[in-house]
Structure formats: C-alpha cells, structure tokens
Amino acid sequence: MRGSKGFTIVELMVAAFIFLIVIGIFFVVYQAETTTFQESKREMEAIDKLWLSMDQIKQEVREGEEFKDPSSFPLPTIASDSNPLIISNDTAVVAFYTSGDSALYKATSTDTALTHRILASAVTISLSPSTPSPSSSCVQVELFTEWAYKGRGTGESVSSKIYLRN
C-alpha cells in the first residue's frame, strides 16, 4: 500500500506553473512602472530646463531699460528661424538667441568684452512680437524643447509675458 507522503510530480508542475505566472505578472507590472517613471523623469528634466532658462531671461529683461534691434548686436551664427531677444541695461547689452546647433545662448556685451555661453541645449526661443521695438515695454517669450524615451516623447514649452523695468 502506498502512503501519502509528499507531492506528486503533477502537483509540483502545476505549482511551478502558477508560480511562474505570478512572477511574470509582477515583472510586467515592474517594467511598466519603470518605463512610466523614466518618461516622467525625462519630461520633468525638460520642463525644469525650460523654466530655469525662462527665469534667467526674465531676470535680464526686468533689469533692462530697452529692447535693441538685432542688427545692432554682434551675434555669431544663429538659427534661421530664431529671433534674438536683445536688451540693454545699465552696464551691458544682453542677447538670448538660438544657434544653428539648436542651443539657447546668452551673449553679454560690455565696454570691455563680448561673452557667449550656452544657457540650455536643444531649446529654441520665439518672441511675440518677433522683433520688439526699442519703444516696447514688454515681450512674450516662448521656449520649446523636445524629449524622448524609448521612441516615445513629445515637445514641451513654457511662455511668459515679461516687462522691462520702466
């Protein structure tokens, strides 16, 4: 007579199969959550980059006395669809522009030097009006960037109406 000690091979295989299904479900959920987290992280990095750049632009415009004509400022190669934002203040003339390499630059011209530095990579600037006149007191600035993760992504933009200190 055979005793009932232990499990049969069929019972062990059924238990292993159920265990593998449960582990598979956990893995799929984990992968989905990781992808969502990474996408959200990229999106927030893009938005942070835009807002940090916008804050610097706001600070310079609010300290400015008047807008300048782009032809009056020695800019290097700029993107063909870029409208530079040029502001003069007490000590310098400051320009924000998108270059041919799709980076947002800040250029500062003082009596002694002209400096250019990257403010943010892969950010474009657009203005409304496209070229603010020296008599304007405000400008609408929009910054735009794109981001992607595993082939999925989108564009993000921030916009702000900024007034001169006058």
Q: Is the pLDDT of residue 122 over 80?
A: yes
For residue 1, what pLDDT is reported?
45
Tokens found for residue 3: 């005793």
Residues 6+ apart with CB under 8 A from 91: 110
Q: What is the pLDDT of residues 35-93, one digit of tens each?
A: 889 988 988 998 999 999 999 999 988 888 888 887 777 776 666 667 888 888 888 88
DSSP 3-state assignment of 73? coil
The pLDDT tens digits for 14-35 are 999 999 999 999 999 999 999 8
Identify any residues that bridge with 104 across adjacent strands, giving them in sequence order: 98, 120
16 compared with 130, residue with greater pLDDT: 16
- Global confidence as pTM: 0.76
Q: How far apart are CA 93 and CA 139, in angstroms?
A: 17
Alpha carbon 161 to its chain centroid, in Å, reads 19
